[in-house]
Structure 1
Amino acid sequence: MAPYTSHPVDSACAPAFFSLFPVISCEPDALPTIQRALNDTIYSCTTPGSKERRKALYRHTNPAGNLFSLAFALSETDRLRYVAQFIEFLCILDDSTENMPFEEACTAHSIIRQALTEKYVDENNGGKAVGMMKNFLNNLCEELSGLDDPSTVTPLLLKTLDRSLRDRDSDDSEFVTLAEYIPYRRTNFDHDFVCQLLRWGMNVKPEVQESPLLRTYELINGAIVGLTNDYFSWEMERQQPTDRIRNAVPVLMTEHGISELPAKAMLKEVIIEEERKAEALKTRIMAELEGDEQVKRYLTGMDLFAAGYSFWCATCPRYHRPQKE
């Protein structure tokens, strides 16, 4: 099926936005589908009055645009719902585990991974939110497995999600250089899964992923979106109680012996340079794989994902007017 109708977004209305990529949105056509998906996910994965539910609801109060209409605008109409549910699920999981002690967070991820096994048992884990999330994920996966999808894309999608849940918060190291931090940031952002979900949502054929150049492009894209999140979320994250800070700003402060403001300015330049690398690599890929419409669509989808996510980060109340607990 075709995507919802999209239109260009005038990013000049967001002074904080600095991405080199264009922004589009599939609002307003897709908004009812997205809102139903969000309501189903939020109310299935959080308890009334909980911090996680308040955060989830606040996350989607951005008057400049919805996260999913901006970042996944090319998803097909019958798949955007699932894209929104998977990403919102991971956002809620992140909110739930970021303040947990490291070992407790690892345990929570292990419990939720049970939803992806064939021997799944419906347990509520003492009524805790982790049990609600596990059951929600299992129901979502069962629904996906019933879709008429003759390709191997859906099983690969779920396999990648399982690996992402295993790895996303499995390192409690204190990073001292940006070079060693970026691979962790991509993993913690679930970027391999996001790439699979982007392909799945756009119905891009699975053989596209076999290109080494495209894999390199994915890695650059992962650095861009992960570091963009760090740039805009630092003011919120720096005040959170946690036994591990996962943000490029303090990494750059440590690596270069500088204070917060120069570190943020340096991070912005790093992101822009990564976008320039992406543009140069895109030109090379299109020259070497001329005429491959699947590749062209996927590259466009990754660019729009990075730009839409950056625009949302630059405008959302979550990062610019932090919610009171």
Structure 2
Amino acid sequence: MAPFTSLPVDTTSVSSYFSSFPVRTCEPEALPTIQQALESTISTCTAAGSRERKKANYRHSNPAGNLFGLCLTMCEADRVAYVSQFTEFLCIVDDVLEDLPFGEASIEHAILRQALYQGYDHDDYEGRVVGKMKSFLREIRRELVSQNDAETLLLLQTLDTSLHNRDSSDDEFQTLEDYIPYRKTNFDYEFVCQLLRWAMKIPLHMGPEEEKLARKYEHIIGVIVGLTNDFFSWEMERSETSDRVRNAVPVLMVEHSVHENQAKLMLKKVILNEESRASELRHKIESASGSSEQLKRWISAMELFAAGYSFWCATCPRYNRPQQEESFAERC
């Protein structure tokens, strides 16, 4: 099945969007599919009136564009719902478990992972906070396994690894170089890449040489999206109470002994430098005579994913509305 039709987005009026990447959206055609996927995920994984449900609904209140409409422009139309469900599920997991102390969060992640294994299907223990999410994950696993597709089984294995690793360190990072691998892991980035490949019906593992190039490009895009999230979310995160604030801004403040504003300027420069690296590598891949159309399509999709996510971060109320103007529901 082909992707939904996508259209270019005019970003010139959005001064906060500083990325060099062009943005597209498939929202006009895809929105009903995305909304249905979101409604089922949010209603299943959160309780009515809960802080997590308010945060989930607020996440998708961006008048500038739907998060998934902006990011999934090259995914097959019949798999957009699955990508939306998995991604929203991980966002909710993050919203819930980031408020727990590190040790408790690690235990809850382990309990949640049981939903990926048939052997735990009759285990009624749902942990302290992940019960609804565990039930959701169990049902979507059953649905996908019933399709009897080897690539889908590999995707679920990657998700299991991601849930194991995503909050596995309580270290304080002293340099951006040390922080970036953690940022990608905490972003579930390996799983996100595999999920997008699966949704485009691109093999999860290409031939050796093309896989090497694809991974190199994925790494650069991972740095861009992870640090872009940090850049725009810092104003919200700086006031949160947690035993593990994870953001590149305070890391740069420590590493270079600079004030917050200087650290944000440094972070912006890092992001733009990574975009330049991505563009250079894309040009190299596309101009090489041996590059397959499959690899070129994947590179295009990753750039559009990064562009859409960056645009969403630059415009969403969650990160950009002045705190003094927000209600409790909006802050959540």
The answer as to whether partners of 2:232 and 2:319 remain within 8 angstroms in 1 is yes
Q: Does 1:32 align with 2:32?
A: yes
Residue by residue, what CA displacement relative to the aligned partner does 1:138-181 show, whole Å, maximum 9, x if unpaired?
101111122364xx321111111110000000000000100000
Matched with 2:162 is 164
Alignment of 1:98 onto 2:98: yes
Secondary structure of the 1:24 match is: strand
- Aligned residue for 1:15, secondary structure, equals coil
User: Is the 8 Å Cα contact of residues 124 and 132 (structure 1) preserved in structure 2?
Assistant: no
Amino acid paired to 2:189: H
Q: Which residue pairs with 1:184 in the alignment?
A: 182
Amino acid at match of 1:324: R
2:255 aligns with 255
C-alpha distance in 2, partners of 1:96/1:198? 24
Gaps of 5+ in 1: none
Partner residue, 1:9:
9
RMSD after superposition? 1.5
CA gap 1:209/1:141 in 2 versus in 1, 3 angstroms:
farther
2-structure distance, mates of 1:116, 1:128: 18
Gaps of 5+ in 2: 324-329
More deviation, 9-18/287-296:
287-296
Cα distance in 1, alignment partners of residues 34 and 107 from structure 2: 30
Task: Note if 1:294 corresponds to 2:301.
Answer: no
Instruction: For residue 108 of structure 1, report the CA deviation from its aligned partner.
Output: 1.1
* More deviation, 178-187/281-290: 281-290
1:272-324: CA deviation from partner (whole Å, max 9, x where unpaired): 00111111111222234645111011001100000000000000001012523
Are positions 1:278 and 2:278 aligned together? yes
Q: Deviations over 1:198-217 (max 9, x none)?
A: 10111113343742121111
**Amino acid across the alignment from 1:257:** S
Q: Residue 117 of structure 1 corresponds to which residue in structure 2?
A: 117
TM-score by length of 2: 0.94
Matches within 5 A, 1:301-316: 301-316=301-316
**What is the Cα deviation at residue 129 of structure 1?**
4.0
d(CA) in 2 for partners of 1:209, 1:178:
32
TM-score, normalisation: structure 1: 0.96
The residue matched to 1:119 in structure 2 has which SS?
A: helix
Deviation track 1:57-103 (CA, whole Å, cap 9, x = no partner) reads 00000000000010111111110000000000000000001111000
Q: What's 1:201 paired with?
A: 199
User: Structure 1 residues 127, 183: closer, same or farther in 2, change over 3 A?
Assistant: closer
Q: 1:118-137 to 2 correspondence within 5 Å? A: 118-122=118-122, 125=125, 129-137=129-137
Secondary structure of the equivalent of 2:43? helix
Name 2:326's counterpart in structure 1: none
Write the deviation string for residues 184-224 of structure 1: whole angstroms up to 9, x where unpaired.
00000010000001101111133437421211111111111
Per-residue CA distance 1:116-135 (angstroms, 9 max, x = gap): 11302355546854011011
Is the CA contact (8 Å cut-off) linking 1:214 and 1:285 kept in structure 2? no
What is the identity, as a one-letter code, of the residue corresponding to 2:47? T
State yes or no: 1:324 paired with 2:331: yes
Amino acid across the alignment from 1:38: L
Query: What is the deviation of 1:14?
Result: 1.5
Shift in alpha-carbon separation, 1:70–1:197, aligned structure 2, 3 A: same
2:193 corresponds to which letter in structure 1?
C
One of 148, 152, 155 as aligned partner of 2:153: 155
Q: Which amino acid aligns with 2:175?
A: T
Is 1:76 aligned with 2:76? yes
Aligned partners of 2:122 and 2:235: how far apart in 1? 39
CA contact (8 A) 2:285 2:296 kept: no
Secondary structure of 1:78's counterpart equals helix
